[in-house]
Amino acid sequence: MSGLKLAIAAVAVLGLAACSNNRWDDTANGGGAGAGAGVGAGALDPASPAYFQQTVGDRVLFLVDQSTLTPEAQGILQGQARWLTQNADYVVTIEGHADEQGTREYNLALGARRANAAREYLISQGVAGHRLKVVSYGKERPLEICSNEACYSKNRRAVTVLAGGLTG
């Protein structure tokens, strides 16, 4: 009996760990569109990657089976473009993702469309194309793991990942 209780407690701990440990999420606060204005954001150095992730917002979200940028997504990308123009040393990889409602290879192609939509928009806002690589993970790297729209809407995303400087 006490063994059973122990097991349940262990499961609960694992469950919590799973919630907070989003291995593929590079922001501390989980993000989502407009993830800015977090606690303590004012203390961040505006030129820091953490500021880009948390205050500017490093990701945009998409509707089901769509790669069209919503007005909200365009707003976030405008902020990203401004930041990237001011911090011209960074190159970025835009990672496109899909939710699990789709076949594997189609979702790879869909994620690529989304990443490319974000890339094209950043270019239209003045960011040089050679700084912007794209890759798609399809449905291979979900952030949220429930099987309903609350999770799916956060998984359909294009994340702008800062990667190193242009200069050595």
Partner 1 sequence: MRKILAALLIGAAAAAGAGAAMAQDGPLRIEIDQGVIEPLPYAVPDFVPETPAASEYATQIARVIAADLSGTGLFREVPASAHISKVTGFDSPVKYADWKAVNAQALITGAVSVNGNQLTVRFRGHDVFAEKELGTGLQFNGTTDGWRRMAHKVADAVYSRITGESGYFDSRVVYVSESGPKNDRRKRLAVMDYDGANVQYLTNSASIVLAPRFSPTGDRVLYTSYESGFPQIHVLDVGQVQRKVLSSGDGTMSFAPRFAPDGRTIVYSQTQGGNTDLFSMDISTGAKSRLTSAPSIETAPSFSPDGSQIVFESDRSGSQQLYVMPAGGGEARRISFGEGRYGTPVWSPRGDMIAFTKQNKGRFHIGVMRTDGGEERLLTASFLDEGPTWAPNGRVIMFTRESQGSAGRALLYSVDITGRNLKPVKTPDGASDPAWSPLQN
* Interacting residue with partner 1 among 144, 156, 157, 161 (CB under 8 A): 144
Q: Pairing state of beta strands 132-138 and 157-165?
A: unpaired
Residues 70-99 that bind partner 1 (CB under 8 A): none
Which residue has tokens 């700084």?
A: 131
Pick between residue 56 and residue 115 the one whose CB is nearest to partner 1.
Answer: 115
Pick between residue 48 and residue 147 the one whose CB is nearest to partner 1.
Answer: 147
As a whole number of angstroms, the distance between CA 94 and CA 127 comes to: 13
3-state secondary structure of 15: helix
As a whole number of angstroms, the distance between CA 158 and CA 73 comes to: 10
12 touching partner 1, by CB under 8 A? no
* Interacting residue with partner 1 among 97, 141, 156, 157 (CB under 8 A): 141
* Interacting residue with partner 1 among 97, 119, 154, 156 (CB under 8 A): 119
